[in-house]
């Protein structure tokens, strides 16, 4: 793939549309947009554009399409698969100025928003109206809702409320030729033709640029209870997960953290709120939510009964709002804490839930075979395990040459049990080499054809997914 480099006349055109202060070529902005949270990649764009309207994006895309300039849309840069890396330079379309919540429809439980709104800000705005946007990625305090839609993000509450695709009703998007379309309707049901909304959700900025998002909301659950359960065996913790569902419970979060994940988070925060006895190997963090506290206490009791079949330590029941916040803070920081301690590679494996103990066992066995250490944690209730493979003291050669083989082995296992290689982080730039494990030529061919229909010149987020 080759693209036209940005020249003075291109900048002059962008200036005409966006005015000078939103056409940025200074080093600070170029550096900021050269990376995201994915490992240590650096791909500087040639220019950073900060549009404020759909029409501006339409004009920029039409121009870049005609002149064959690469365009990489960017949210807050919190992605973990390199979806926002401008791997071919060109334009970085920085969405931070499109940061308005346009309408909270309290009659129909919907919100219409621009993509550059921080997810937590959106959540807080709808809570004020008694409504709930449940999708809750760990980076919610900094990620943008547009990036969440582009990557089809998940997070701890997906186990009860689904991932982003389960909340998206309708999208306004700009196609690479500059045309603007809505993908569906603002309705809870829609059986009309192909579902473009669902196709674009999770398309990682490769098909169109999202400019407006209509999300489904639910009434805000007034109560929740949270427990942290220590296990003497990590495999038991994984096995307990499915038993909770088989007993008829659906927690609003069911998270797994192996010992190193929690200790790493505690060290990172220099927190000593939890005493972890030496022989504890893993924890489950379990939340239930709803409107009736008595019912929730009943659920926690029922879940505790299920867990009594396993060897568990003393359960920590979060008494106060502060204690709940503290536990969630530790859980949410695991990824960042691990990254802070070592060079690492993050995998986002997902299997049918009952396979979770086997997945953990496979990850550890492959690690032992190749000499890699991993820190595992994640959304156990979804069968979704984040596997952070840490470099530690390993030499560069082993890390670079053997790691891809080890990862392939894990992914082959995942595929063999009808799981997949990303539950919520996306394929982006880093997972492309593994797509052949989960898709054959026919499947990949169909996806390539779809890409061509939307983006015949291949200018949108090139170098991603395939």
Q: Which residues bind ligand 2HG (CB under 6 A)?
A: 80, 137-138, 332, 334-336, 346, 378, 386
DSSP string over 125-188:
HHHTTTEE-----TTTTT-BHHHHHHHT---TTHHHH--GGGTEEEEEEE-TTS-EEE-S-SSS
Q: Which is nearer to ligand 2HG, 39 or 223 (CB)?
A: 39
Q: Which is nearer to ligand 2HG, 45 or 335 (CB)?
A: 335
For the bound state, the minimum distance from the C-beta of residue 263 to ligand 2HG, rounded and expressed in Å, comes to 16
Please identify which residue in the block is written with the tokens 């033709």: 193
Please identify which residue in the block is written with the tokens 């339409």: 58
Distance CA 154, CA 106 (A): 24
The continuous run of DSSP H or E covering 331 comes out as helix 321-341
Q: Which is nearer to ligand 2HG, 346 or 455 (CB)?
A: 346
For the bound state, the minimum distance from the C-beta of residue 80 to ligand 2HG, rounded and expressed in Å, comes to 6
In degrees and rounded to multiples of 5, residue 276 shows phi and psi of -105, 105
Q: Which is nearer to ligand 2HG, 334 or 366 (CB)?
A: 334
Q: Which is nearer to ligand 2HG, 197 or 384 (CB)?
A: 384
Q: Which is nearer to ligand 2HG, 332 or 364 (CB)?
A: 332
Q: Which is nearer to ligand 2HG, 133 or 454 (CB)?
A: 133
Side-chain half-sphere exposure of 106, counting CA atoms within 13 A = 8
Residue 325, both tokens:
């916040």
Q: Which is nearer to ligand 2HG, 46 or 258 (CB)?
A: 258
Q: Which is nearer to ligand 2HG, 82 or 176 (CB)?
A: 82
For the bound state, the minimum distance from the C-beta of residue 365 to ligand 2HG, rounded and expressed in Å, comes to 22
Distance CA 55, CA 33 (A): 23
For the bound state, the minimum distance from the C-beta of residue 378 to ligand 2HG, rounded and expressed in Å, comes to 6
For the bound state, the minimum distance from the C-beta of residue 136 to ligand 2HG, rounded and expressed in Å, comes to 10
For the bound state, the minimum distance from the C-beta of residue 334 to ligand 2HG, rounded and expressed in Å, comes to 6
Q: How far is CA 429 from CA 88, 129, 383, 433, in A?
A: 12, 39, 24, 9
For the bound state, the minimum distance from the C-beta of residue 390 to ligand 2HG, rounded and expressed in Å, comes to 12
Of 326, 5, 332, 327, which Cα lies nearest the Cα of 155?
332
* Cα end-to-end distance, the chain, whole Å: 13
Q: Which is nearer to ligand 2HG, 332 or 451 (CB)?
A: 332
Distance CA 228, CA 280 (A): 12
Distance CA 274, CA 217 (A): 34
Q: How far is CA 463 from CA 88, 346, 379, 404, in A?
A: 8, 19, 29, 19
Q: Which residue is nearest to ligand 2HG (CB)?
A: 335
For the bound state, the minimum distance from the C-beta of residue 186 to ligand 2HG, rounded and expressed in Å, comes to 29
For the bound state, the minimum distance from the C-beta of residue 392 to ligand 2HG, rounded and expressed in Å, comes to 17
Q: Is 457 exposed, middle or buried (0-12, 13-18, 19+ CB in 10 A)?
A: middle
Instruction: Yes or no: say if 380 and 360 are a contact pair by the CB < 8 Å rule.
Output: no
Distance CA 311, CA 385 (A): 22
For the bound state, the minimum distance from the C-beta of residue 200 to ligand 2HG, rounded and expressed in Å, comes to 21
Distance of CA 191 to the CA centre of its chain: 27
């Amino acid at each position: 793939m080759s693209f036209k480099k940005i020249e003075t006349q291109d900048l002059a055109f962008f200036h005409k549309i966006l005015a000078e202060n939103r056409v940025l070529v200074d080093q600070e902005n170029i550096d900021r947009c050269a990376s995201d949270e994915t490992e240590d990649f650096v791909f500087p764009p040639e220019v950073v554009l900060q549009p404020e309207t759909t029409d501006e994006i339409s004009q920029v895309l039409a121009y870049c399409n005609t002149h064959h300039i690469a365009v990489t849309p960017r949210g807050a840069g919190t992605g973990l698969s390199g979806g926002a890396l401008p791997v071919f330079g060109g334009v970085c379309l920085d969405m931070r100025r499109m940061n308005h919540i346009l309408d909270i429809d309290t009659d129909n439980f919907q919100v219409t928003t621009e993509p550059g709104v921080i997810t937590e800000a959106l959540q807080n705005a709808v809570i004020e109206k008694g409504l709930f946007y449940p999708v809750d990625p760990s980076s919610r305090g900094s990620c943008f809702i547009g990036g969440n839609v582009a990557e089809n993000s998940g997070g701890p509450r997906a186990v009860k409320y689904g991932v982003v695709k389960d909340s998206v009703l309708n999208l306004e998007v700009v196609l690479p030729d500059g045309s603007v379309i809505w993908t569906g309707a603002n309705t809870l049901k829609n059986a009309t033709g192909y579902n473009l909304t669902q196709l674009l959700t999770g398309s990682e900025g490769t098909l169109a640029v999202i400019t407006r998002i209509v999300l489904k909301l639910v009434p805000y659950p007034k109560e929740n209870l949270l427990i942290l359960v220590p296990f003497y065996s990590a495999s038991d913790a994984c096995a307990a997960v499915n038993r909770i569902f088989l007993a008829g419970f659906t927690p609003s979060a069911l998270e797994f953290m192996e010992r190193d994940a929690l200790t790493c988070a505690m060290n990172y925060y220099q927190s000593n709120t939890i005493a972890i006895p030496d022989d504890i190997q893993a924890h489950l963090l379990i939340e239930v939510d709803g409107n009736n506290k008595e019912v929730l206490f009943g659920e926690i009791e029922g879940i505790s009964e299920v867990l009594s079949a396993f060897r568990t330590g003393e359960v920590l029941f979060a008494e106060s709002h502060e204690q709940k916040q503290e536990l969630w803070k530790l859980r949410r920081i695991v990824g960042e804490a691990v990254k802070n301690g070592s060079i690492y590679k993050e995998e986002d494996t997902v299997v049918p839930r009952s396979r979770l103990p086997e997945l953990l066992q496979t990850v550890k066995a492959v690690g032992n075979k190749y000499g890699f250490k991993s820190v595992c944690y994640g959304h156990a209730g979804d069968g979704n395990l984040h596997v952070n493979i840490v470099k530690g003291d390993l030499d560069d050669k082993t890390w670079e040459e053997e790691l891809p083989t080890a990862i392939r082995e894990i992914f082959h296992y995942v595929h063999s049990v009808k799981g997949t290689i990303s539950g919520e982080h996306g394929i982006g730039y880093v997972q492309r080499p593994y797509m052949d494990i989960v898709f054959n030529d026919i499947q990949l061919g169909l996806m390539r054809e779809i890409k061509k229909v939307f983006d015949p010149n291949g200018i949108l987020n090139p170098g991603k997914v395939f």
